[in-house]
Structure 1
Amino acid sequence: MIAYTVLVLLVGLERVAELVVARRNAAWSREHGGVEYGSGHYPVMVLLHTGLLAGCLAEGWLAHRPFLPALGWPMLVLALAAQALRWWCIGTLGPRWNTRVIIVPGLPLVGGGPYRWLSHPNYLAVVVEGAALPLVHSNWLTATVFTLLNAPLLVTRVRCENAALATLPPGPVPSASAAPAAP
C-alpha cells in the first residue's frame, strides 16, 4: 500500500504541474484575446478530480484493498499511458492547452499530435486514468463512483469545448507552433 500511496501522491504532484502550466497558458491566452467558456463547471471538475485522488487513498487504506498483480500491473500500465497521452496533448497544444476552456479568437484548430485521430484525446486520458488508477490497488468503488460522476461532467465539458472551438476558423494546422509565440 505504501508504493500505491506514493504513486497517487506522484499523480497529485503531476496535477500541480498541470495547474502551473495551465495558469501560465491562461495568461498567454488572455494576453492574446482569449475568451473563457464554461467556467461554471470548472469547480465541479476540480472537486471531482481531487476526489479521485482522495478516494484512491481512502479506499485503499480504509477498506484494506489488496494489490492483485493480474489486475494491478495492467492498470498501472494504463494509468501511465494516460499520463503520457495527457502530456502529449499538452505538448501538442503548447500555450493553447489549459484546464479551462479558453479560446484565442482567430487561431485555427490544431490537427497534429493525437488530435490527428481524436477530437478530445485528453478526455480519453481522463477516462482511462479514472478507471485505471484506482484499480491499480483494487479500489473498485472509487473507479466506479468517479466514472459515473465523470460521465455527465465530460458530456458537459465536451459540449462546451465543441461550442467554443466552433468559433475558430476551419483548417487544422499540424501543431500549435503555428500559433503566435509566447512572449
Structure 2
Amino acid sequence: MVMSDSARAYLLFLGFILLERLFELVLSTRNARRALAQGGREVGQGHYRVMTVLHTAFLLACAGEVLVFQRAFPGVLGRAALVGAVAAQALRYWAISTLGERWNTRIVFIPGARPVTSGPYRLVRHPNYVAVILEMACIPLIHGGYLTALLFSVANAVLLTVRIRAEEAALGAEYRQAFQTRPRFIPGSAHGPR
C-alpha cells in the first residue's frame, strides 16, 4: 500500500495526540492520588473503564479508517477540522490549567472543596467535555474519517450523558448553586436541566 504525504502527516498528528494523552494520564494519576490523599472520594468507576476503551479505540479508528479506506485529504474541510482540533486542545489545556491539581480524568471530588468558577468555567460548566466533543468530530475529519467522526461522536454523547450526571451529582449542592445559570456546553445557551 502506498501512503500519501497527507496520510503520513495525519498519522504523525495522531501520534502527537497519543503522546499528549499519555502525558495527561500521568498528570491525572498524580492529581487523583493527591485528591484521594486529601480525603477525596471517587465515583463513576464503571463508566470510566468504558471511557478509556472508547478513547483508545477512537485513535485507532482515526488511523484505521484513513488507511483501510485510503481516504484522501478533504481540502477545506480538512483544514477547518484541523483548526477545530487545535482549538479543542487549547480549550482542554485552559481547563486543565484552571483546575490545576484538581484536574484528573476520573471523578474524584474532595468534600467541602469550593467549585472552580474561573477560566473557561466562567462560560460553561464542562469546558473539558466541550474539547472532547470537538475532538471526536474534528480529528477524524482532518483526513476524511467521516465514519469515525459519526460513530464516535454518537458513542461519546451517550457516555457523556452518564458521566455528567454522575459528576454533577457527586459535586453536590454547592456546585449546582454556583453553576445554575451556566450552560453545560455552549456559552450563552440555555443551561438545560439541572
- Residue 80 (structure 2) aligns with: 74
For residue 128 of structure 1, the aligned residue among 125, 130, 134 is: 134
- Residue 89 (structure 2) aligns with: 83
Aligned-pair CA distance for 1:69: 1.5
Aligned-pair CA distance for 1:68: 1.4
For residue 36 of structure 2, the aligned residue among 12, 24, 30 is: 30
TM-score by length of 1: 0.91
- Residue 179 (structure 1) aligns with: none
- Residue 11 (structure 1) aligns with: 17
Is residue 113 of structure 1 aligned with residue 116 of structure 2? Answer: no
Q: Secondary structure at the match of 1:21?
A: helix
For residue 148 of structure 1, the aligned residue among 133, 154, 157 is: 154
Q: Deviations over 1:117-176 (max 9, x none)?
A: 10011110000000000000000000011011111100001101100111557668xxxx
Higher relative contact order (CA closer than 8 Å, sequence separation 6+): 1
How many residue pairs get aligned? The number is 172
What value does the CA root-mean-square deviation take over the aligned residues? 1.2
Is residue 39 of structure 1 aligned with residue 65 of structure 2? Answer: no
Contact 1:107 1:168 in 2 (8 A): no
Q: Secondary structure at the match of 1:166?
A: helix
Residue 9 to residue 70, structure 1, CA distance change in 2 (3 Å): same
Spell out structure 1 runs of 4+ moving beyond 2 A: 167-172
- Residue 60 (structure 1) aligns with: 66
- Distance in 1 separating the partners of 2:80 and 2:50: 29
Contact 1:4 1:137 in 2 (8 A): yes
- Runs of 5+ consecutive residues of structure 1 not aligned to the other structure: 173-183
% same residue? 47
Contact 1:105 1:168 in 2 (8 A): no
Q: Deviations over 1:100-128 (max 9, x none)?
A: 00001111000000000100111100000
Residue 29 to residue 167, structure 1, CA distance change in 2 (3 Å): farther
Contact 1:79 1:128 in 2 (8 A): yes
Q: Secondary structure at the match of 1:138?
A: coil
Q: Secondary structure at the match of 1:36?
A: strand
Residue 142 to residue 160, structure 1, CA distance change in 2 (3 Å): same
- Distance in 2 separating the partners of 1:46 and 1:99: 10
Contact 1:75 1:132 in 2 (8 A): yes
Q: Secondary structure at the match of 2:15?
A: helix
- Distance in 1 separating the partners of 2:17 and 2:118: 26
- Distance in 1 separating the partners of 2:165 and 2:132: 16
Aligned-pair CA distance for 1:42: 0.4
